[in-house]
Structure 1
Amino acid sequence: MTSLRTIADINHKIRQGSVNVLTVEALKARVAEVGVPQTAQEVDVVTTGTFEPMESSGAILNLGHTDPPIKIRQCWIDGVLAYSGFGAVDLYLGASQPAETGISDNDGEDARERGGGHVIEDLIAGKALPLRALGQSTDCYPRSAMNTLITRESINQFYLFNPRNLYQNFLVGVNGGDRLLNTYLGPLQPQLGNAVYSNPGALSPLLNDPKLRLVGVGTKIFLGGGIGYVTWEGTQHFPLQKRLANNTPIGPAATLALIGDAKQMNSEWVRGCHFKNYGPSLMLGVGVPLPVLDESVIQACAVSDQELVAPVIDFSIPRRVRPTFGLVSYAQLKSGSLTIERKRVRTAPLASLHLSRQVAIELKQWIESGEFTLTEPVAEIPCDRTFLPQDSRGSQMNLT
C-alpha cells in the first residue's frame, strides 16, 4: 500500500507542534464518520492503552557497594525475597513474589496480601523501605550481612524489566464446578456465577496492530507513567494463534517484553495488587503509539469490539487444556452479561477500561506537547513462534 508518511515525517511534525494525534477510540469514531481514506490523510498517530494486571513483571535494582563490600546471596526488601544470583549488589524483584512473615516490618494481616508489586509501587512512590541481606564472605566481599533502608534515590539503577506484558488477546474465565475458585482472574463463582475477561478489547494496543507491523524491538512506549521500550518478544509469545478474517487472534497470542526507568515512573500507573488465595501481582499502565504510515494502519485500528472475540474457558477442570464454551465478542462482554447454556452470566473486566482510556489520552498529550517522539524499530517481533507445553518426562528418562 502507498506510504502516506514516515516516522521521520511524524517526528518532524511533533517538533513543529503540528502533529495530529487521536486516541484509538476517537479514531474509530472518526472512521465511522468519514471513512478510512480521509482519516488516514488526517491522522498522524493513534494512541492505545491498557491498565491491567501483568504478573510477569519485575524490577532490576543495583544497590551500590557497601564498605566493607558484600556479595549478596539472600535479600529481602520489606519482607519480599529478591533474586540475588548474579552481580554482588544486583537484584531482581518479581512482581508476584509474596512477602514472607517474620521478615517484613509490616508483618500482620496486610503482609499476607503484600508482594513484589507492592514493593515496586512503594519505591516508585518515593517511600523508604527496609532491606535485609545475607552475604557470601569472600576475600573480595568480606561482609556477611546488611540491614538498611533504601529509596529509589539511594540506589543506582531501578528499572522495570518485564518478561511478559501486553497480551494481544486473552481468555474469559468461568467456573462450571460446585465450589468457588480463586484464580489469576480473581474469584470465579460456582455454577457459572460470573465471567471475567482481562483484555480491554478494542482499546488494546496489540489488537489494533494485529500483525505487529508497527511494533518491534526498540519501539518507544508509555510504561508506568514514564518512557519505556520494547526489548524482545514476551514469554509465551504465540503469534500463530488462530485468527479471524480481520487478522485478530481468537485467544492468547503475541506478547512483548518491556523495559523502562522506574525512577521516572508514577505510582498512579504502577500499583501492587493481590488476588485472594492466588497471590500478588502488578497493575500496570502501558500505552503504545501507532504511526499512521498508510491506510492499512487505519483499517486495522478501526476494528470494533463486535469484531473481536475471546474464548470462554471453564476453570473448574484442572488441566492445561480446559473445555471451552466457545467464542464471545468483546461487545457482548462489555454489555455486562453473556449467555452460556441458556443461562445469563454476569461479566466483569479485570482491566480498568477507564484507566486504559486515560493511558491513551496521556500518551496523546505527551506527543502533542513534543515530550514524546516515535522510534523506528531496530528488529521485528518474530511472528512464527510455536507454543510448547512442558510435560513430565521422568518415566521416559533414566534417573539413576
Structure 2
Amino acid sequence: MRTIAEINDKINRKKAVVLTAQELKAKVAEEGVTSVAKEVDVVTTGTFEPMESSGAVINLGHTDPPIKIRRCWLDGVPAYSGFGAVDLYLGASCPVEQKEGEELKERGGGHVIEDLIAGKLVQVRAQGQVTDCYPRGTFEAAITRETINQFYLFNPRNIYQNFIVGVNGGERMLHTYLGPLHPRLGNAVYSNAGAISPLLNDPDLQLVGIGTRIFLGGGVGYVTWEGTQHFPLQKRLPNRTPVGPAATLALIGDAKQMDSRWVRGCYFKNYGPSLMLGVGVPLPILNEEVVVRCAVEDKDLVAPIVDFSIPRRVRPTFGLVSYAQLKSGRIVIEGRTVRVAPLVSLYLSIQVAQELKQWIEAGNFNLTEPVCQIPTERTFLPQNRWTEF
C-alpha cells in the first residue's frame, strides 16, 4: 500500500497519520483492519523497563601530560578501560566498589549514567600504565557530559520480545532480577509491557532491522545488531508471537541528547544495580498485514510462569498465562490466587509511545529502511561443558 519513502514525505509535510499501539488496537476494534491500513501511516510502540545489559561509551579527552588509563572509577563504579588510552565503557549493572565493613551503597553504573545525562558532576579517579607516550600515572577530576567527548549508550541486549513471570514456590524469600519473590507463591512479577511492547507488534521482525531509527532514552537511537541471547526460534502461537523470551536487539544512541526522565538508575535489593530505560520503536504501516500484527491484544499474548526456587538454568514452570490476566493484578496458580505486579512501568511505556508519536507528527523524526534484517534462525547455546586447563 505504501513505502517508507512515501511515509517520510508525509512526515516532512506534517501530514502523516500516527497512532500509538494502544490507539491503533482500539481503532481496529471499531473500524476493522482494512480501514485502518488505508488511513494510518505509522504506529508507535514503547516500553520502560529494566535493561541491565546496557552501558555507556565515554571518551574523557587527553590530559596533559597524557595518561593511558588501565583502571578507572566513576563515582566509585569501576569502568572498563582495556582499549583506547582515555576510552571507557561503564556497565549499567556494575556496582560501586565497597570497602570492607562499609555500609552498602545501593548504587551502580546505571545511576552514574543517569547523573551524567542529567548534567550532574561525576568524580573520575584513574590509574595509568606509564609509557613514553603516556607518562602520567594517576588522574582525578570532576566531569559532566559537557566536559567529555563522546558519550553514548551502546547496549548489547535491550527490549526482549516477551519474557517470563517470576514466582517462588520455595520456603524463603528470594531476591532476583525481577525484585523480591515471596515464598509459597506469595506474589508474581512480570517485566514486559505486553501488547504495547515494540517487538510483540512485529513478531517476525519484518519491519525492525539493523539501522532502524528509534526513540532511546529521550533521544534518537538506532538498532545496531541482534542482541545477546537473541532466540528467534522460541516456540510461537498461531499469531506468531513467542511463548517466552525470544528476539532481542542491540541499541546505540547519543547520551548527550537523552533525558534523565527516560534513563534512570535502579537497584534490586540483594541482587544489584540496573538501568530503567525508555525505548520506542516506530512501525511503518506498509500493508494490511502490519495492522493485523499490531492489532494483537493482551489476551492473545502469553508468558511462562517460572519458579525461581529451583536454582537451575532450566527451571520448572506453572504453565502459561496471558498478559490480560497479568495486567488484571491476579493470576491463578494450581487453584491458588496470586497477586501480580509489573516490573515494567506500563504508564511510562505508554508515554514513550506518545512522545515518539509527537516527534513524528511534528516532522522531527523520519523513519529509516533497515540496511539488513535481524537473523531469524539463531539457536540459543547453553554452557553444558567445562574444559579443564
Give the TM-score, by structure 2 length: 0.99
Q: Percent identity?
A: 74
Look up the match of 2:79: 82
The residue identity in structure 2 corresponding to 1:215 is V
- Equivalents in 2 of 1:318, 1:182: separation in Å? 13
SS at 2:359's partner residue? Answer: helix
Look up the match of 1:269: 262
1:182 has 2:179 as partner: no
* Cα shift readout 1:291-327 (whole Å, capped 9, x = no counterpart): 0000000000000000000000000000000000000
SS at 1:364's partner residue? Answer: helix
1:45 has 2:38 as partner: no
1:329 has 2:327 as partner: no
**Structure 2, unaligned runs of 5 or more:** none
Look up the match of 1:200: 193
1:284 has 2:281 as partner: no
* Cα shift readout 1:345-389 (whole Å, capped 9, x = no counterpart): 000100000000000000000000011010010000000000000
Deviation at 1:129, TM superposition (A): 0.8
Deviation at 1:112, TM superposition (A): 1.6
The residue identity in structure 2 corresponding to 1:50 is T
Equivalent positions of 1:1-400 (< 5 A) are: 4-102=1-99, 109=103, 112-394=105-387, 397=388, 399=389
SS at 2:350's partner residue? Answer: helix
SS at 1:371's partner residue? Answer: coil
The residue identity in structure 2 corresponding to 1:374 is L
Deviation at 1:46, TM superposition (A): 0.1
- Equivalents in 2 of 1:391, 1:78: separation in Å? 38
SS at 1:113's partner residue? Answer: coil
The residue identity in structure 1 corresponding to 2:67 is I
- Equivalents in 2 of 1:96, 1:121: separation in Å? 13
Give the TM-score, by structure 1 length: 0.96
Alpha carbon RMSD of aligned pairs, Å?
1.1
Deviation at 1:393, TM superposition (A): 1.8
Deviation at 1:108, TM superposition (A): 6.7
The residue identity in structure 2 corresponding to 1:77 is L
* Cα shift readout 1:212-254 (whole Å, capped 9, x = no counterpart): 0000000000000000000000000000000000000000000
Deviation at 1:341, TM superposition (A): 1.0
- Equivalents in 2 of 1:108, 1:252: separation in Å? 38
- Equivalents in 1 of 2:328, 2:147: separation in Å? 48
